[in-house]
Amino acid sequence: MWNKFRVTLLVVGVLFHLFYLWSIFDIYFVSPLVHGMKQYRSTEQPPAKRLFLIVGDGLRADTTFDMITHPVTGKTEYLAPYIRSLVENNATYGISHTRMPTESRPGHVAMIAGFYEDVSAVTKGWKENPVDFDSFFNQSTHTYSFGSPDILPMFKDGASDHNKVDAWMYGHEFEDFTQSSIELDAYVFNHMDQLFYNSTVNRTLDNEIRQNGNVFFLHLLGCDTAGHSYRPYSPEYYDNVKYIDREVEKLMDKVHNFFDDDDTAFIFTADHGMSAFGSHGDGHPNNTRTPLVAWGAGLNRPKLNDVPIYDNYTKPWNLSHIQRNDVKQADIASLMSYLIGANYPVNSVGELPLAYIAGNESDKLYALYNNARTILEQYIVKRDEVIDSQFVFKDYPKFAKKSHEVYLDEIHYVIDLISQGQESLEAEAIALTEELISTTLEALHYLTTYNWRFTRTIVTFGFIGWIIYSFTIFLKLFILKDGDAALEIKTTWFNWFVFTIIGAVLNYVLYYQRSPFNFYMYLFFPIFFWSQIFASNVVLQRGITEFFKGINNFERILIGAATIAMYEGIVYGFFHRWIFTLIFVLLSVYPFLCGYSGSLLSSFCWIASSIAISTFNLFDAVKIESLTQINLAGLLIVLSSLYSLSKVKQQITRYTRSVFAIQIMAVVLMLVVTNKSVTSLQQRKGLPYDAQIGGWLLMGISFLLLPFLHYLKPNNNYKVRFLVIYLTFAPTFLILTISFESLFYFLFSAYVIQWIEIESQVKLTRDTKEGKNENWLQLLRVSIIGFFLLQVAFFGTGNVASISSFSLDSVYRLLPIFDPFPMGALLMLKLIIPYVILSCGLGILNAKLNIKDYTVSTLIISTSDILSLNFFYLLRTDGSWLDIGVTISNYCLAILSSLFMLVLEMISHILLRNVTIKEAAKSADSEKKTQ
């Protein structure tokens, strides 16, 4: 099967999907950053000499201000009484609204650099700077930072002068999710104290610390760690909040005594909140609402409301008498810049929150005006870049109607009138400046998306071309018979000439637009696909005729409509999981429509399994740890294994039975280890060392040693091999289960094995009635159902509706200390296991139905990009950040699933090597070997 057409299909297919996977980031999520802008100073008269930025990582706004009942002591109190007293007497406060992804890195970039990282930045690493961005720390005289090694390096290493930012960081071993999170924050406050002490014995350091324009950044990771480990309603989380409050109160006295003045500004906030389940990342309000409390030099004291103002969220705070001033997270960077008189970060899109500033209106206007000029400067540079790369340029409609020059002239005119004594115009000038900022931000987005129509058209032709091209190759390789000279694919000189001219013209357009290399590849694929489609039109026509041979036009239309409906159902099932449930209900009756005539018990089991597995798609994405469900799943896995063993006992040796017994015992032992780990962690006693070692040891034994023992004396019966694979992954899946996932593993495996038997019986029934003719409709049905199960294999274990679904709870049973890459690897292993079960099922089914190798995967690859094309146009760059993140995830899952199908068949060939399939229509001695 490895002829030149298949090799070409695989190579081109892999490259096409990898490039087009990245296309959404090049088209929809282009970095908004530009370089070469002028800098504007926030104010010539900074109200503060220095600034303290205190960030409580993972601290929710409601926890900061609510009256809370402690779950252990039973005492009802405010967790942060000192910070609350500041709100009531000394500070201006509000909610800082973050954007998705609500993670530590983008949150800190927003508040410190003043811009929201584009989504593609996640590919550049957590600690590295994805782009060369300016930050508030860059503009400070010097920054002293304390805290996590996951946050501090990106600002220290990314500073224009590396010596401008100092960082005191603890080691990763401190981030132990099973130990007290307060130690992380204690490290920060202790090293802050140490810095003050060191300055008393080091005159140079003392002079440096006392410079105007210095920044002290305290990153407090404790709440985030406690929330992940024990949830934000736990005593550990509450105690951490209380600890922070006490230390902030102490810090105030230390700062005042050290500097002996009142010229320090303080900003207390958080990078993101946290859901009730100890997760964050998506756009849930509990993740996006963080506290902002600002007090000290240059900042307003609280203003009282004439009448109480509150909503359902803030009513329990009992702060309705005090004016609340909400901001966007990026606005904090502009506020901090103003307080110490620094330049606004050149890439900042934050708007100076005037309600926080104590000063006259003219000072506010000057600061806001320079804020607007900083943002406008980005627009001017970006516009010039776009103009230089376009044949014809059309300005942003609002600026076409009223240019930014006109805005500036109007603002200057009002400022002149104000300077002449007409101070009543200050409010008008501020409103006009804010309008300029708003319009400029809209114009920046317009420029970022200027070439969307052209590039999206190219990608659309690429997807449609791939679908037709790959389907043509599928028809030639698996449907049409070899040897027909008319089916040779030959490219004529006219074909070459036409597509060369089209390619040259479009490539010149890309060149003129100064497009990056990827865009040339996005264009190359549709040019190649469509040239091959026109060259192979005979193959396409004859192949379709052969594929639907014996079927009238009306039935062809019905089959085509049903196929498209199935794929579209899968598309919208990504957004509405009940559609997956509905598909399972329909699949529960499909065997009977196809002529299945199994026993009453088999039919009942199939329907029951379909209904049972359909419910997993309706479960909540965020799971609550449940030992009851884990133990129930373990029991079902053991019982199902014993039952299966009884069914094949006549076909296995005593040696194989012994290895199976050890595998089943490994499942039982893993249940014991999991129970001990979970119980200890829930009781806040940490992870027992013996349980951690036992978990890793059992994983190694079940993954490596026991399969090797089977390999020494293999049994090639397909049922035996499937049972080996089922038990190989069961212990690992159990220890990585939070609640219902192992129940899914049990049901999904049972569903796959039943599906194999049903399709085999349908084929046998048809062959008996009609003879052994090719049945391409069964191939189509198997491929579509297989592709559907491919999606279910992913969604069934986590029902991923958001980033928060990837909970680390189960990983703590093996890795209690935070380490993102090993933890991520374990989560990926958990996601991959159901795919392996499906791959083995497809491999067995491939052999039982006498289908050529790779037929199923090739057909799926040629049609599944219907999903990718749908998701390409369903991508969102506006609305809630949860919606944006979900559409990105859906597109990536859809485009990768095509390639994953091929990987699945390759895996099945390895795992099912030399497996024999007994044909029901032949004698028991007649066997067919998989190749």
Domain ranges, residue 298 = 53-358
Do residue 735 and residue 881 come from a single domain?
yes
CB contact at 8 A, 327 and 292: yes
Least confident of 109-113, 222-226, 315-319, 766-770: 766-770
What residues contact 309, with CB distance under 8 A and at least 6 apart? 320, 323, 324
Is 410 inside a domain boundary?
A: yes
Q: What are phi and psi of 518, to 5 degrees?
A: -55, -35
Averaged over 529-557, what is the pLDDT? 87
Do residue 345 and residue 396 come from a single domain?
no
Do residue 643 and residue 721 come from a single domain?
yes
DSSP-assigned beta bridge partners for residue 290: 96
Least confident of 395-399, 617-621, 646-650: 617-621
What residues contact 871, with CB distance under 8 A and at least 6 apart? 571, 574, 887, 890, 891, 894, 895
Do residue 397 and residue 456 come from a single domain?
no
Other CB atoms within 10 A of residue 907 CB? 19
Q: What is the pLDDT of residue 619?
A: 77
pLDDT at residue 925 above 60?
Answer: no
- The amino acid that residue 605 corresponds to is C
Q: How far apart are CA 825 and CA 835, in angstroms?
A: 16
Is 46 inside a domain boundary?
A: no
Q: How far apart are CA 339 and CA 803, in angstroms?
A: 36
Do residue 482 and residue 344 come from a single domain?
no
Q: What is the pLDDT of residue 827?
A: 82
Q: Strands 142-147 and 214-220, how do they pair? A: parallel
Do residue 603 and residue 676 come from a single domain?
yes
**How would residue 918 be classed by pLDDT, with cut points 50, 70 and 90?**
low
Query: How many domains does the chain divide into?
Result: 4
Taking the model in full, what pTM does it have? 0.75
Distance of CA 925 to the CA centre of its chain: 52
Mean pLDDT score of the chain? 87
Is 35 inside a domain boundary?
A: no
**How would residue 804 be classed by pLDDT, with cut points 50, 70 and 90?**
very low
pLDDT at residue 926 above 50?
Answer: no
- The tokens for 885 are 């993140």
Q: Where a domain ends, among 431, 449, 467?
A: 449
Q: What is the pLDDT of residues 821-879, one digit of tens each?
A: 788 788 888 888 998 899 899 888 888 888 887 788 888 888 888 989 999 998 877 65
Nearest to 223 by CA among 169, 163, 272: 272
**How would residue 795 be classed by pLDDT, with cut points 50, 70 and 90?**
confident
Q: How far apart are CA 917 and CA 926, in angstroms?
A: 9
Is 386 inside a domain boundary?
A: yes
Nearest to 459 by CA among 763, 23, 930, 911: 23
Q: What are phi and psi of 357, to 5 degrees?
A: -90, 130
Q: What is the pLDDT of residues 722-762, one digit of tens each?
A: 999 999 999 999 999 988 889 999 999 999 999 999 999 98
Q: What is the CATH number of the domain that holds 185?
A: 3.40.720.10
Q: How far apart are CA 429 and CA 728, in angstroms?
A: 71
**Burial tier of 88 (Cβ tally within 10 Å: 0-12, 13-18, 19+):** middle
pLDDT at residue 130 above 60?
Answer: no
Q: What are phi and psi of 473, to 5 degrees?
A: -65, -40
pLDDT at residue 127 above 50?
Answer: no
| % of the chain exceeding 90 in pLDDT | 53
Averaged over 230-236, what is the pLDDT? 91
Do residue 372 and residue 296 come from a single domain?
no
- The tokens for 223 are 């709440």
Is 40 inside a domain boundary?
A: no
pLDDT at residue 577 above 50?
Answer: yes
Do residue 648 and residue 747 come from a single domain?
yes
Q: What is the pLDDT of residues 717-731, one digit of tens each?
A: 999 999 999 999 999
Q: Where a domain ends, among 412, 434, 449?
A: 449
**How would residue 644 be classed by pLDDT, with cut points 50, 70 and 90?**
very high
Is 25 inside a domain boundary?
A: no
**How would residue 930 be classed by pLDDT, with cut points 50, 70 and 90?**
very low
Q: What is the pLDDT of residues 407-428, one digit of tens each?
A: 999 999 998 898 888 888 888 9
* First and final C-alpha spacing in the chain: 11
Q: How far apart are CA 915 and CA 600, in angstroms?
A: 29
Q: Where a domain ends, among 521, 540, 559?
A: 540
Q: How far apart are CA 734 and CA 829, in angstroms?
A: 12
- Verify cis geometry, omega within 30 degrees of 0, for the bond prior to 101: yes
Do residue 565 and residue 531 come from a single domain?
no
Do residue 796 and residue 821 come from a single domain?
yes
Q: What is the pLDDT of residue 257?
A: 94
Is 163 inside a domain boundary?
A: yes
pLDDT at residue 481 above 70?
Answer: yes
**How would residue 231 be classed by pLDDT, with cut points 50, 70 and 90?**
confident
pLDDT at residue 880 above 80?
Answer: no
Do residue 354 and residue 367 come from a single domain?
no
**How would residue 144 be classed by pLDDT, with cut points 50, 70 and 90?**
very high
Is 579 inside a domain boundary?
A: yes
Do residue 574 and residue 673 come from a single domain?
yes
Q: How far apart are CA 686 and CA 177, in angstroms?
A: 8
